[in-house]
């Protein structure tokens, strides 16, 4: 039973528009959430994170929103650029946890 | 700093053969992890270590063994490879929790393993 789910395997957006990637989780004990970006033939790289005490965190073009009551988080990329084309993974951790639980990933394609 | 490095980058094994994947990190991180990535399954944790000489099972540990004899190295072994172990394997490391607790893990470039 996957505790972290990314229900959209792929997403295609036009350059300059907003990309919204979604992630749902089932474990209410998750306390911290991260987004990773992965290019082909490379390892995942950390993008942005959010603690459960917040509902929004922003870093440049990237914003993560957390809705704890819905057990849902989303990553917004504005404006989207072709270089953003990659696979995006959301991950979750328990408070002071040693491990991350990852979603299945969403492949984002930004068309010029 | 090289960060997290993995050896080898590619490998093809026959069913029943054994091999060891090496992960090395130069960030003095306490925690190290081995994941496998399969299409649609995301990253699944195989084993991890919270310090030199320690190991613990993750979500999918069967068929794999690990060792952490040195702080900077984390080895993943396949004693008798099976086609189901065809995957991309990623190693990661993380700082020991402390002031300004960070959950961020740093990943290596991956090892693509095919078992025929």
- Residue of higher predicted confidence among A98 and B107: B107
Q: What is the mean pLDDT of chain B?
A: 93
Kindly state whether A1 is in contact with chain B, defined as any CB-CB distance less than 8 angstroms. no
CA A110 from chain centre, in angstroms, equals 16
Q: Is B42 on the interface with A (CB under 8 A)?
A: yes
Closest alpha carbon to B8 in B106, B91, B104, B84: B91
Residues 6 or more apart in contact with residue B97 via CB below 8 angstroms:
A96
For residue A25, the distance in angstroms to the closest alpha carbon of chain B comes to 14
Contact call for residues B32 and B104 (beta carbons, < 8 A) = no
Find the mean pLDDT for residues A69-76.
Answer: 97
Q: Which of B42, B50, B104 sits opposite A105 (nearest CB)?
A: B42
Q: pLDDT band at residue A95, thresholds of 50, 70 and 90?
A: confident
Measure in Å the smallest separation between the Cα of A21 and chain B Cα atoms.
Answer: 15
Q: What pLDDT was estimated at residue A96?
A: 81
d(C-alpha B98, C-alpha B102), whole Å = 8
Kindly identify which residue of chain A lies nearest to residue B47, measuring between CA atoms.
A99
Per-residue tokens: B10:
């590619």
Q: How does residue B99 score in pLDDT terms, banded at 50, 70 and 90? A: low
d(CA A36, CA B106): 10
Bond from prior residue into B8 cis (ω within 30 degrees of 0): yes
Q: Distance (Å, rounded) from C-alpha B110 to C-alpha B75?
A: 13
Q: Which residues on A lie below 8 Å from B58 (Cβ)?
A: 99
Q: With bands split at pLDDT 50, 70 and 90, how would you rate the model's confidence at B51? A: very high
B41 and chain A: CB distance < 8 Å anywhere? yes
Sign of the dihedral defined by the CA atoms of residues B39, B40, B43, B45, in that order: negative
Look-up of token digits 């994941």: B35
Contact A99 B42 (CB under 8 A): no
Cα(B91)–Cα(B107) distance, integer angstroms: 6
User: Is B90 within 8 Å of A43 when comparing Cβ atoms?
Assistant: yes
Residue A45 forms contact with B (CB below 8 Å) = yes
Q: pLDDT-derived band of residue B100, with 50, 70 and 90 as boundaries?
A: low
Contacts of B91 (CB under 8 A, 6+ apart): B4, B6, B21, B23, B25, B32, B33, B34, B35, B74, B76, B107, B108
Which pLDDT does position B101 carry in this prediction?
Answer: 61
Is the CB of B110 inside 8 Å of chain A's CB atoms? yes
């Amino acid at each position: 039973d996957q505790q972290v789910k990314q229900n959209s395997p792929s997403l295609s957006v036009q350059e300059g528009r907003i990309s919204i990637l979604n992630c749902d989780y089932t474990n209410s004990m998750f306390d911290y959430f991260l987004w990773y970006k992965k290019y082909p033939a490379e390892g995942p790289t950390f993008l942005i994170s959010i603690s459960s005490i917040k509902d929004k965190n922003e870093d440049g073009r990237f914003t993560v929103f957390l809705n704890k009551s819905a057990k849902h988080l989303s990553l917004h990329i504005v404006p989207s650029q072709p270089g953003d084309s990659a696979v995006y993974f959301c991950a979750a951790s328990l408070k002071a946890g040693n491990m991350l639980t990852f979603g299945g990933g969403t492949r984002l394609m930004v068309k010029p | 700093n090289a960060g997290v490095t993995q050896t080898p980058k590619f490998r093809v094994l026959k069913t029943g053969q054994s091999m060891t994947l090496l992960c090395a990190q130069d960030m003095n991180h306490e925690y190290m992890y081995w994941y496998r990535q399969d299409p649609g399954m995301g990253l699944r944790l195989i084993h991890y270590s919270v310090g030199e000489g320690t190991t613990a099972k993750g979500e999918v540990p069967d068929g794999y063994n690990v060792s952490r004899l040195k702080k900077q190295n984390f080895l993943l072994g396949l004693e008798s490879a099976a086609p189901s172990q065809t995957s991309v394997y990623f190693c990661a490391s993380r700082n020991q929790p402390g002031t300004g607790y960070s959950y961020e893990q740093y990943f290596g470039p991956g090892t693509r393993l095919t078992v025929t």
